[in-house]
Amino acid sequence: NAGVTQTPKFQVLKTGQSMTLQCAQDMNHEYMSWYRQDPGMGLRLIHYSVGAGITDQGEVPNGYNVSRSTTEDFPLRLLSAAPSQTSVYFCASSYQGLADSYNEQFFGPGTRLTVL
């Protein structure tokens, strides 16, 4: 199993550009999520999904879109990049959503994004 994979590892954008961060998992996990990590702030939840076709907003959703057409993939789209979106982005997955119980989240290696 590859686990959770993210591409690209690094990206530099100019203000106003759009791009998609890719996330895939091969563990058949229902639950997937996107976080951003900023110095001194821990991880903050951007969007999450409890299954194909179902997504919802987390703590900091503005400026980001997601979709979940398959169980395996959960891309994160930046619509119009801003310097405030400079961050490290992590995708994570787990066996089930949090309505029942919390299961260990498996994290990807991260995407380091710089917006100039």
Partner 1 sequence: AQSVTQLDSHVSVSEGTPVLLRCNYSSSYSPSLFWYVQHPNKGLQLLLKYTSAATLVKGINGFEAEFKKSETSFHLTKPSAHMSDAAEYFCVVTSLYSSASKIIFGSGTRLSIRP
The residues that touch partner 1, with contacts defined as CB under 8 A, are 4, 31, 33, 35, 40-45, 48, 50, 56-59, 90, 92, 97-102, 104-105, 107-110
Q: Which is nearer to partner 1, 18 or 57 (CB)?
A: 57
Question: Nearest approach, Cβ of 41 to partner 1 (angstroms)?
Answer: 6
Under DSSP, the state recorded for 97 is -
Q: Which is nearer to partner 1, 33 or 85 (CB)?
A: 33
The C-alpha atoms of residue 18 and residue 25 are separated, in whole angstroms, by 23
The C-alpha atoms of residue 60 and residue 62 are separated, in whole angstroms, by 6
Question: Nearest approach, Cβ of 83 to partner 1 (angstroms)?
Answer: 22
97-109 b/e (C-beta count within 10 Å ≥ 16 → b): beeeeeeebbbbe
Question: Nearest approach, Cβ of 10 to partner 1 (angstroms)?
Answer: 11
